[in-house]
């Protein structure tokens, strides 16, 4: 356990040295600070009397604006933040961390690390856990700050918002599995990023399953379904996030479950390859 903590600490220190943590922290801070100063809510006796964004009232009839429910405003803002954090956070997080593992596999560094009395699986697990914990800390900071801003401004403490945090982190971990596998097998940061981003945008097509399937041939349908069930359904999970944020009943947990299975299999493959590779 001491070795694992040391490896996690080493990864976090490298992220800090590369200014990755600082950069993502600054971006997160800008999000909640802009939200705090840009969104002005006039709350009278627990109801919303007015809403202004950057000092401007939204277009529409004043009675309609007054009829807005505070909880609806909180949910709408938090839903936008959750969706942006899900997509932009994953894209930025992958970009910021993709080069770590290939650099660790540099011949000089990896031979030094492998000379220590530790299993290769533990070495890889320490690196992955360090990245996960860093993203967890940044996500908690962003989500917690936004949650506090909205809760203090409105008096509504929407705890469901933190359920979304777990899903965002879980899907980042799934996509980072692709980076880990490509880094272990090819040591190419560019290829790892291209593949991970390619899967992200391929999920946009997979999300159109109901619209595309009826116009496909039988062979095309079988091929499309194979990709749908095997690849991570990143885009479709964003719909699940919106449903949870808005308090709706989740229509299907399958996109999340199948994506987690994909991630587990890819991490297992990366560990298998790393354990047998000749450095």
DSSP codes joined into one string, 92-136:
HHHHHHTTHHHHHTSHHHHHHHHTSSS-HHHHHHHHHHHHHHHHH
Residues sharing a CB contact under 8 Å with residue 13, sequence separation 6 or more, in sequence order: none
Reading the block at residue 263, the tokens are: 């991630």
pLDDT for the residue numbered 41: 57
Alpha-carbon distance of 68 to 51, in angstroms, equals 9
- Cα separation, 219 vs 227, in Å, equals 13
How many whole angstroms separate alpha carbon 40 and alpha carbon 220?
51
For residue 246, what pLDDT is reported?
Answer: 78
Instruction: Look at residues 77, 74, 66, 71 and name the one whose alpha carbon lies nearest to residue 42.
Output: 66
Chain centre distance of CA 260:
13
Question: By three-state DSSP, how is residue 47 classified?
Answer: strand
Note down pLDDT in tens along the chain; length 279 residues: 777 788 888 888 888 888 888 888 898 898 888 877 766 655 544 555 555 544 445 555 444 444 456 777 778 888 888 888 899 989 999 999 999 999 888 877 888 888 877 888 889 999 999 999 999 999 999 999 988 888 887 777 877 778 888 999 999 999 999 999 999 999 899 999 999 999 999 999 999 888 988 888 889 899 999 999 999 999 999 988 888 887 788 888 999 999 999 999 999 999 999 988 877
- Asked if 97 and 20 count as a contact pair (C-beta separation under 8 A), the reply is yes
CA distance 155 to 268: 45
CB count within 10 Å of CB 93 equals: 24
Give me the pLDDT at residue 168, please: 93
Runs of H (alpha helix) within the chain: 2-17, 20-38, 62-66, 70-97, 100-104, 107-114, 120-154, 161-186, 189-206, 209-212, 218-230, 234-245, 254-276
Q: What gap in Å lies between CA 170 and CA 176, rounded to an integer?
A: 10
């Amino acid at each position: 356990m001491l070795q694992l903590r040391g490896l996690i600490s080493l990864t976090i220190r490298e992220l800090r040295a590369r200014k990755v943590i600082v950069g993502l922290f600054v971006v997160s801070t800008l999000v909640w600070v802009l939200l705090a100063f840009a969104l002005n809510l006039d709350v009278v006796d627990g109801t919303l009397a007015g809403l202004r964004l950057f000092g401007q009232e939204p277009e529409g009839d004043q009675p309609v604006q007054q009829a807005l429910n505070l909880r609806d405003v909180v949910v709408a803002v938090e839903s936008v933040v959750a969706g942006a954090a899900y997509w932009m956070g994953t894209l930025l997080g992958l970009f910021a961390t993709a080069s770590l593992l290939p650099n660790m596999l540099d011949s000089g560094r990896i031979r030094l690390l492998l000379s220590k009395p530790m299993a290769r699986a533990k070495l890889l697990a320490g690196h992955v856990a360090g990245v996960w914990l860093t993203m967890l800390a940044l996500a908690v900071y962003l989500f917690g700050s936004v949650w506090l801003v909205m809760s203090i401004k409105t008096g509504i403490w929407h705890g469901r918002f933190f359920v979304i945090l777990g899903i965002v982190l879980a899907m980042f971990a799934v996509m980072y599995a692709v980076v880990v596998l490509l880094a272990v097998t090819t040591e190419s940061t560019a290829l790892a990023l291209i593949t991970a981003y390619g899967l992200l945008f391929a999920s946009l097509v997979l999300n159109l399953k109901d619209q595309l399937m009826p116009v496909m041939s039988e062979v095309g349908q079988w091929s499309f379904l194979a990709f749908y069930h095997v690849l991570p359904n990143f885009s479709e999970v964003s719909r699940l996030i919106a449903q949870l944020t808005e308090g709706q009943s989740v229509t299907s947990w399958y996109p999340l479950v199948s994506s987690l299975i994909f991630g587990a299999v890819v991490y297992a493959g990366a560990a298998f390859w790393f354990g047998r590779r000749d450095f």
